[in-house]
Amino acid sequence: MSERRKFTREFKLEAVRQLVEGEKSMRQLAQDLGIRRSLLQGWQRQYLADPGNAFPGNGQQSGDDAELAELRRQVRRLTAERDILKKAIAIFSQERK
């Protein structure tokens, strides 16, 4: 199975710039870059929705994404702590009998 291609933020921004400025059509640009039109359309939508934060990549997340990731880490940690405490209670309960 082939490895998934990764594109840099700069590559995506340049591709979208060419679309927005009308240098090339969506079809021609996708063909020139060797990518699917749907991928290029997705990049364009992402850029137009939030130009300043489009294509964060390299571990950079928007504020909401970073907060969500942190909350998920906390849930995993707290769930693990709870499970450990449940096992400890079960062990101590057996010793008293």
What does the pLDDT look like over 2-16, one tens digit per residue? 677 888 888 999 999
Q: Of 3 and 26, which is predicted with more confidence? A: 26
- Of residues 28, 10, 9, the one with CA closest to residue 19: 28
What tokens does 96 get? Answer: 């008293």
Q: Is the pLDDT of residue 26 over 60?
A: yes
- Output the CA angle 81-82-88, nearest 5 degrees: 90
Residue 36: C-alpha distances to residues 10, 21, 43, 46, 47 (Å): 18, 20, 11, 16, 17
Give the C-alpha separation, 71 to 75, whole Å: 6
What does the pLDDT look like over 41-97, one tens digit per residue? 999 999 988 888 788 765 556 677 778 888 999 999 999 999 999 999 999 988 776
Give residue limits of the domains in the chain: 1-58, 61-97
**CATH class held by domain 1-58:** mainly alpha
